[in-house]
Structure 1
Amino acid sequence: MNDVIGVAWFRDELTYREAVEIFTDPENMPATFEKWKTLVGRQCELIKSGGNIAIRADIDPETFTAWCNAHGFKADAWGRTAFANHVALEYQKTGKGTIIE
């Protein structure tokens, strides 16, 4: 069976900038949305080339912060990873989610 891997995803430049502002580790993020798109594009290609499924874990600053607070995470790399893993597990359970093509 293919693995389902959640990828922290930002729908547009505004969402990216707003999210970076609430992250406790903004220095760990690419400086621009365009650089993030390039990086995540490479990450998704690696996931798919291994026969796995990349699933979007859409990060909206408000709902991501609430999710982190409810699950005991900070809005940082660990929180983003935990959220992406949560989305991947939900996809495996329900089949609902957005696959990155």
Structure 2
Amino acid sequence: MSAVVEAVGIPWYRKRDYERILSIMIDRAQLPRSYDSWRFRAETLEQRLTASGRHSVRTVIEPKNFARWCTANRLKANAHARLLYIEESLREEPQRHRR
């Protein structure tokens, strides 16, 4: 029997979507301007989590789906909404996060 490992979700963006992500996020000033800078920060966070013994999961945020989800949930597209979106995604697919 495998135990459920509490995963830390990390928002993950595809390079082709990054400009669109920036355009829909109301807190875009808090995000790196370039995809490469964002990816470096995200991978650094993954490494820190792994080094501390925590399991991280990349959760792709697709701009159109995220915008629809925010509208449906009456949320502004910001860091708070991204965290809620990731939490929901992890709850919907717990089998992916077993070890």
> Structure 1 length as normaliser, TM-score?
0.82
Q: Which amino acid aligns with 2:26?
A: T
What corresponds to 2:20 in structure 1? 18
Higher relative contact order (CA 8 A, sep 6+): 2
Q: Residue 80 of structure 2 aligns with which residue?
A: 78
Percent identity of equivalent pairs: 22
Cα distance in 1 for partners of 2:77, 2:59 equals: 14
Asked if structure 2 preserves the Cα contact closer than 8 Å seen for 1:5 and 1:52, the reply is yes
Question: How far did 1:26 drift?
Answer: 0.9
TM-score by length of 2: 0.83
Q: 1:9 aligns with which of 8, 12, 37?
A: 12
Using the TM superposition, give the Cα deviation of residue 38 of structure 1 relative to its aligned residue in structure 2, in angstroms.
Answer: 0.6
- The count of corresponding residues between Structure 1 and Structure 2 is 94
The alpha-carbon deviation at position 83 of structure 1 amounts to 1.1
Give the match's secondary structure for 1:57: strand
The runs of 5 or more residues in structure 2 that have no matched partner are none
In structure 2, give the amino acid aligned to 1:56: R
> Gapped runs of 5+ residues in structure 1?
none
